[in-house]
Amino acid sequence: MDFELPDDVREFCEVTRTIVRDLLPYEIEFQETGTVPPIVRQTLVDNGYFGMALPEQYGGLGLGALAQAAVQIELARLPPQFWTELRPLMGPGAKNIMYHASEAQREALLPGMATGEIPIAFALTEPNSGSDPGSMRTTAVRNADGWVINGSKTFISNGKKAKYVIVYAYTDKSAGARGGISAFLMSADTPGFSVTGTIELMGTATPGVFELSFDECQVGPDALIGELGRGFHYALEGLNEGRMNVGATAVGMGEYALELAIEESKQRPAFGGVISDFQAIRHYIATMATDMRAARLILLDAAWRYDQGEKRRELASMAKLFATEAGSRTVDTAVQIFGGTGYCRGFAVERLYRDIRITRIYEGSSEIQKNTIARELLR
């Protein structure tokens, strides 16, 4: 067994580490102003990161799951706000377009997505429908001109910037979630569509995530993505890969917190020495390092197998579950090692503490991952 990254992936990760190192100093400006400096986005666009997961024929880099995960581990050292727009381009919405959209839809969107000119949003979650998408209330009713969409969505990343929204709606309630939900591609310019609210978050996104409303939104027959009634399956398929991406983010945050904690422990004076002289701190670091190594290996194994055709839901769920839980433990311990300064704004570990918490919730909570793992194993 070869546990090393392929040479091309390793080289891309090294380039990414350098770019991240150059961009990290802009975090100070961001923390002071609340605005991401334009150079950050432009650097990511210029170096092809917006097209990482998108096919080469449409201007992307065509990276597989393993390469995406490895690169995201590096990007996760940056404040999440610096690369918020990248995540939807590797998430379920983008996968729906890549795998199931018509050729006309792909040609219209994918080149612009790869250059950052066409932001997209994935609109699945509703006020009364989070982990249970089957309880969604948004509907799409067929008429002579296509479909009329009515309903609302919430916690939608990129909702305000998106030029196109991938909307999931019931087209046949009697068929249930697995046969009655369909996916639609809708322009944000569609009459009746509006961003009705901003939900401010503890971390991760600025200014937050968004509430969307669909009031008699008329879309054409060509707005349907893939087959009628297959939207639920498409969403789950996209979430499978998306969960590994979330795991990669958590691994990157956890590894960064570990590095910061090690450095702090070797410098912070206490009782005539430094705190790394004490067994308690050494045990903390040993546990953190073991957690993060295990998380990295579980994640990269799942991603490698995905690229080999083993698109097993339990492996993606294991990767997300372990990586996010281990990453959260590691960041929490890093704050403990830093002491009071770790709880102060302006320190990276404080930012990591706020940002990593959501990884155990979105793209399927830890509890949902456990349900998925057990269900797949008990089949």
Please name the residue that has the structure tokens 């990254």: 5
Which of 176, 182, 186 shows the shortest CA–CA distance to 156?
186
- H helix runs in the chain, sequence order: 7-23, 26-33, 38-46, 65-75, 92-100, 103-114, 177-180, 231-267, 279-307, 313-338, 348-356, 366-377
DSSP three-state, residue 126: strand
Q: Which is catalytic among the residues 74, 126, 255, 363?
A: 363
> Active-site residue 363, yes or no?
yes
Residue 379's Cβ-side half-sphere holds a number of Cα atoms within 13 Å equal to 9
Which of 255, 260, 334 shows the shortest CA–CA distance to 291?
255
Which of 162, 178, 282 shows the shortest CA–CA distance to 227?
178
Give the span between the Cα atoms of 352 and 79, in whole angstroms.
8
Give the span between the Cα atoms of 124 and 115, in whole angstroms.
25
Active site residues: 363
